[in-house]
Structures are given as C-alpha cells and as structure tokens.
Amino acid sequence: MDCNLFLQEKDDFFRRVYGLRLGDGDVLQEAMEKSIEKNGLAKPFLFTPEGLTHCGLQVAFRENIGVDYIFPKELDNLSTVIHARWPLQSYFIRHSGHREAIEGDEALKLLSAEKIWGKKIATMTSLEISQFSFEYALANGAIIDTESLSMASGSRHYDGRVPCVYWYGDGVHVRWCLPSDTSGNLRSRLAVVS
C-alpha cells in the first residue's frame, strides 16, 4: 500500500466533501506505516479530519447523499459530552472487518457501555460511527446497521447517557441510550487506536 498516495486521496476527499484538510501528512503517514507494520492490512482505516463536527456531517449527509442527519446538538459541545477522541487534529482509527462494519461487532453484543468502560475496551465515538456511516453510504450506496443500532460507547454525556446511532426512515438518527442498556440489536464498534 502506498501510504502517501492513500493520504493524498483522503485529503482530496475531505476537501471536496467536508471542506476540510487532512492535516500533517508526514505525521499521519508515519503513524499509518507503524499501524500496518503492527496490525497488517486486515482492519480498515477511518481517518477523521481536523475540525469535523456533527454539524459538518449534517451538511455532508444532505449535500452528498440527500438524507437527514438528526442528532442531539450537545454532541458537539465538549463541555457536556466526553469523547474518547475528538478531531482537534486529524487522526485515524482502525475498525472491524466487513461483516462487523455493517452490523457492529458481534463480540460486543449484549455488553452495556458500563461493562465496556469497565473492561477498558476501545470503541468508536458518536462522530466516528456517524462519519463511517456517511462514508460507507457514499461509497457503496448502502447503509450500515440494517439490523442493529450502533452504541457509541466511545462517547458519553456527563450524566452518563451514551449516544446510539441508527438509520431510520429518512436518514441517520442519534439518540441517547442509558449506559446500562443491552439488547441483541445494540452493539458497540471496536476501535483499534494504535
């Protein structure tokens, strides 16, 4: 894999779709090469550009695939919501393979956000899941979470609630779930951060 070419394509995509730049390509390229050396190519990359917000995704959903993105506005307020990662600078995570990418990680089925936090499992944030949902729909003309909801246990409100992301009717919705919620159709998504 040519990391430099890959990053240039990502930068072009982010400028065209989000109006944002990827940032320092040299730092990202070095981190990407180390991640490939450590983890191989089995897990896909999700790059999040510096400055991306839920409001920015709302515009991208409408302008690029013609669907609504409905979310609690406080998700962009870092004084009320804690995120494991937030794009103060561009970064990437790696996530699960194809089947898990569509329906969430089977291994995390029936695990509440409280249990995930207790086990210190790295999971995707509400912004990452929503961004992945958008980019997957844009690239494939299909949606994720056809049978399940993604619990964004990498994010949480200061009162303990956790965002859940799902497709419904006219677009993507985010609502608050309780951190103790478990069900067969509620799943977190793993995030490999190194």
DSSP track, the chain = --HHHHHHHHHHHHHHHTS-----HHHHHHHHHHHHHHHTTSSPEEEE-TT--HHHHHHHIIIII--EEE--GGGG-TTTEEES---SS-EEEE---HHHHHH--GGGTT--HHHHHHTT--B--HHHHHHHHHHHHHHHS--S-SS-EEE-TTEEETTS-EEEEEEETTEEEEEEE-TT---TTEE--B-B--
The pLDDT, as a whole number, for residue 7 is: 83
The pLDDT, as a whole number, for residue 156 is: 94
The pLDDT, as a whole number, for residue 141 is: 86
Determine the distance from the C-alpha atom of residue 73 to the mean position of all C-alpha atoms in its chain, rounded to a whole number.
Answer: 17
Nearest to 154 by CA among 142, 146, 162, 143: 162
The pLDDT, as a whole number, for residue 101 is: 61
The pLDDT, as a whole number, for residue 194 is: 62
The pLDDT, as a whole number, for residue 95 is: 77
Q: What is the mean pLDDT of each run of 10 residues along the chain (194 residues)?
A: 80 90 76 80 81 95 94 94 92 70 68 89 92 90 80 93 90 92 80 76
Task: Indicate the pTM of the whole model.
Answer: 0.90
Domain boundaries, the chain: 3-187
The pLDDT, as a whole number, for residue 22 is: 78
